[in-house]
Structure 1
Amino acid sequence: MSKDKSDREYDLVVVGATGYTGTITATHIAEHLPTNLKWAIAGRSGVKLEALAAELKKLSPDRLQPAIEIVDVEDKSKLSSLVKKARVCISVVSYHHVGAEVIEACIKNRTDYIDTAGSVLHIRNWIDKYHKAAELAGVVLIHSCGAFSAPQDLLTWASVRELAKKFSMKTKELVLSVVSIASDPSGGTIESMMERGAFGAEVLEKAQQPWYLSPTMGKQSSNSTNFFGMRHDSFLGGLSASAINAVQNRAVIHRTWGLLGGGKDYGPNFQYNEYKKASSTLAGVFQILNTRAIGLLLTIPPLKAIAMMFLPVPGEGPDLEKEKNYRVEMEAVAIADVDDDKAAPKVYSHFAYPGGPYHTTGAFLAQGAASLLYVRKLEGGAVGGLLTPAFLGADLIERIQGVGAELSTKIV
């Protein structure tokens, strides 16, 4: 712990705590982080914060209860005063509208920061604006630390390390299959997806590029699927190019590649490809059509207007008990970088969490914040900047395993 943070009032503050994901995150903190944690829940509504605090006390009456901080994120002075009180800030706000304000306050006050922002367009903008400033200030900014893209990033990191450890080989490709993840969206997720329409077609096209978030350009590869958008892997089975967050996850993981030496750790020919598990070609084609239909529904103005009549608004989401009983599961194969793919050593990795994507996200946000708070050991010798979940490395893996997740690798 740095000296200038040792006497801060809070170890941790959750900004946007009364929203759907914020509530789940605060609940995870109350149930799993150390009982002597000094923390606060923050938001605009004192009534909602009081109600949340009462529920958290029922869950864990013997722990230090969170302080209540009423703050309008758009009030930069009050936001700065709040952030200055904490060593780590979890931000679960509307990133499109006020995400930058929280980031700026954290850099100004040298408070480490973690969120679940997933739009590569926003992240690219934040990289350009804040990466160097955060690096100079020694402030860690970690985005996308939720069900999208933390498990994928950590599975890739762990698999690459396993290949290097056992065979002293770099990785050519990480192929990931989404086995199970519920598609019931929260209002915040819907809002984020709909924001894509605010960007021009040219910008949206650039954002599809594999290395859009990486500081250096990697190898451009040819399409790995057939005419139907399908692929088959001997370990993973049938795969369809229908994983709804594949573009985001690829961009985040390729940023990890770039920040860790642009090939020095993962390998110069590394690439990440994500798919959805498919039982047959017909099922896979249906998955692809369904994914494209969702994209059109949330980007074409007339269809968006109709969709908004039925979809949840920000702050709302799937039934919490129902969401808690879902399961997030994915598996991956890392292929060593040799000339003959059939003879290449491979690592199989698996992730599963006993909860839906929002409970998975709450766990990663809380445990990622705990890693920054208690250990803060960053990969590649990083001291700050706009980083990725993989920079929390083995410590975050151990923490997420400690709350019921499986994250494992093995040579195959």
Structure 2
Amino acid sequence: MTDRQYDVVLFGASGFTGELVAEYLAANVSNIRWAIAGRSTSKLEAVRERIGQPDLPILVADSDDAAALTAMADQARVVISTVGPYARYGTTLLEVCAREGTHYCDLTGEAQWMAEVYERVDPIAKNSGARLVHCCGFDSLPSDLSVYFLQQAFKAQFGEYAQSITGRMGRYSGAVSGGTVASMMLVSEQIMKDEALRKRLMNPYALYPEAMEPGLDQPDQMGVAWDGNFESWTGPFIMAAINTKVVRRSNALAGLPYGSDFRYEESQLCKSRLSALTSSIAIGAVMGGALFRPTRALLKRFLPDPGEGPNAEARENGFFEFWAHGVSGADNQNNLRVKVTGKRDPGYGATSRMLAQAGLCLAQDDLSVGGGIWTPATAFPEQLITRLAQVDVNFEVVD
């Protein structure tokens, strides 16, 4: 792809998160040829003025215009997409990039969409050499990469991989993403209409390759539980619904290095049993309310819309902690823990930078995988972990 005009094309740059990615690239990256893209010329012109890049090239394409998306993809080595919900707006672009041999990454956390496109689009990408990588934001980079990072350290220290890993969301400060809300609402609408889709999303191995036998993991935690390793009460973590499936797919795509019986689960660390119970009830109420049209409409009145988000001060002052604890051995005698820390609001300030670095990985780094649909931990784990340190997201082994 050395004859492509641009190293990176940012699709959806006039959206809230898209503009944050553009802002980051404009202020921090000088060694790439890049352009912004979307369906509105006037909005894209306004973005490039706000980020101080008045001469930045603009490409116009709508998410359902295959011809325009093909023309855009043919000019790019990598397309970074922030246009969601991806189940509604992302399929045509994914297919185009797979067909045209254009690398691609996005922010989706929509398991139902990924499960639908994997088996169909993956062979096309393998044939063209396009590397397509979903979930390159807060869901699911901390989870997927922390498991990879822990397993490499575990193998070096104990001579074997951990048999099971627990992911735990720790302290954080940040706002709910309007894009995440829109995706959740769309999933809720879809599963009420499609019983097969509902069953698929309840399957812990929904993102496993179809030809592989599932492992032993059960559905994600929905109630309150005590974690003896962390000596803490835990409640459900809303992002676990996608993160756990991505981690399991990573193990499968890598050839099951952690074993076919590898176990992984996630939850939220809570200060007390009461706070865990309160969190469980709140998450259950939101998820349950999203299933029915009247309560879904009511929720939308109080939750952010796509394109809405926290102001710059809130984004900059946010932070997050994520933990992964691995064990192995007949009596779990081998233990190791990894901590992931990130500055800035996880859903916006940190996510926009993580996505930008994933795109730069695809554009600039020497990767060992060929074409296909990959997870972050199978596409570029070492390279991206190194790059994320540049945006204040760090991985470390802790006692």
The TM-score normalised by the length of structure 1 is 0.90
What is the CA-CA distance between 1:107 and the residue it aligns to? 1.4
Q: Does 1:314 align with 2:303?
A: no
Secondary structure at 1:335 match in 2? strand
Distance in structure 1 (CA, Å) of the matches to 2:43 and 2:331: 59
Shift of residue 346, structure 1, vs aligned partner: 1.6
Contact 2:21 2:355 (8 Å CA) reproduced: yes
Q: Which of 360, 372, 385 matches 1:370?
A: 360
2:148 is the alignment partner of 1:157: yes
Q: Tell me the equivalent position of 1:27.
A: 23
Using the aligned pairs only, state the percent identity: 28
**One of 164, 170, 173 as aligned partner of 1:179:** 170
Native 8 Å contact 1:146 1:361 kept in 2: yes
| Equivalent in the alignment of 1:167 | 158
The change in CA–CA distance for 1:312 and 1:203 in structure 2 (over 3 A counts) is same
3-state SS of 2:9 partner: strand
* Cα distance in 1 between the residues matched to 2:215 and 2:82: 34
Q: CA deviation at 1:187?
A: 2.7
In structure 2, C-alpha distance between the alignment counterparts of 1:83 and 1:29, rounded to whole Å = 19
Residue type of the partner of 1:387?
A: W
Q: CA deviation at 1:12?
A: 0.2
- The 8 Å contact of residues 214 and 257 in structure 1, kept in 2 or not, is answered as no
C-alpha contact (below 8 Å) 1:240/1:288 kept by paired residues: no
Distance 1:332 1:231 in 2: 16
Shift of 1:161: 1.1
Q: Which residue pairs with 2:130 in the alignment? A: 139
**Equivalent position of 1:53 in the other structure:** 48
Range 119-128 or range 357-366, more displaced: 357-366
For 1:70, the aligned partner's letter is V
Of the candidates 237, 258, 261, which is equivalent to residue 243 of structure 1? Answer: 237
Aligned: 1:283 with 2:275: yes
> Could you tell me how far apart the structure 2 residues matched to 1:39 and 1:284 are?
45
Q: Runs (4+) of structure 1 moved beyond 3 Å?
A: 221-225
Q: Report the alpha carbon displacement of residue 123 of structure 1 after superposing the two structures with TM.
A: 0.5
SS of match in other structure, 2:307 = coil
Q: Which residue of 2 aligns with 1:401?
A: 389
- The one of 336, 358, 373 equivalent to 1:386 is 373
Distance in 2 of aligned mates of 1:247 and 1:146:
15
User: CA 1:363–1:310 in 2, change beyond 3 Å: closer, same or farther?
Assistant: same
**Secondary structure at the counterpart of residue 141 of structure 1:** strand
The structural deviation recorded for 1:93 is 0.8
Query: What is the aligned partner in structure 1 of residue 81 from structure 2?
Result: 91
The structure 2 residue matched to 1:348, chosen from 329, 337, 358, is 337
* DSSP 3-state at the match of 2:124: helix
Does the 8 Å CA contact 2:174/2:345 hold for their aligned counterparts?
A: no
Matched residue type, 2:96: A
Gaps of 5+ in 1: none
Deviation at 1:179, TM superposition (A): 0.8
For 1:111, the aligned partner's letter is T
In structure 1, the residue matched to 2:5 is: 9
Q: CA contact under 8 A between 1:15 and 1:42: conserved in structure 2? A: yes
User: Which residue identity lines up with residue 167 of structure 2 in the other structure?
Assistant: L
Distance 2:279 2:236 in 1: 6
Change (3 A) 1:224 1:125: closer
Distance in 1, matches of 2:280 and 2:15, equals: 31
The yes-or-no answer on 1:339 pairing with 2:317 is: no
1:69 counterpart residue number = 59
Structure 2 counterpart SS, 1:210: coil
CA deviation map 1:294-341 (0-9, x unaligned):
1123222110112223333222222233123111211111112x2112
**SS in structure 1 of the partner of residue 302 of structure 2:** coil
User: Structure 1 CA distance, aligned partners of 2:206 and 2:233?
Assistant: 24
> Secondary structure, in 3 states, of the residue corresponding to 1:57?
coil
What's the CA shift string for 1:326-379, capped at 9, x where partnerless?
11211111112x2112x2x1221111111112122111111011111111414x
Runs (5+) with no aligned partner, structure 2: none
Partners of 1:325 and 1:151 in 2: CA distance: 19
Instruction: State the secondary structure of the residue aligned to 1:178.
Output: strand
Over 3 Å counting, the alpha-carbon distance change for 1:283 and 1:297 in structure 2 is same
Cα offsets for 1:152-194 (capped at 9, x unmatched): 1000001011111221112211111101344632332211001
Normalized against structure 2, the TM-score is what? 0.93
CA distance in 2, matches of 1:332, 1:156: 7
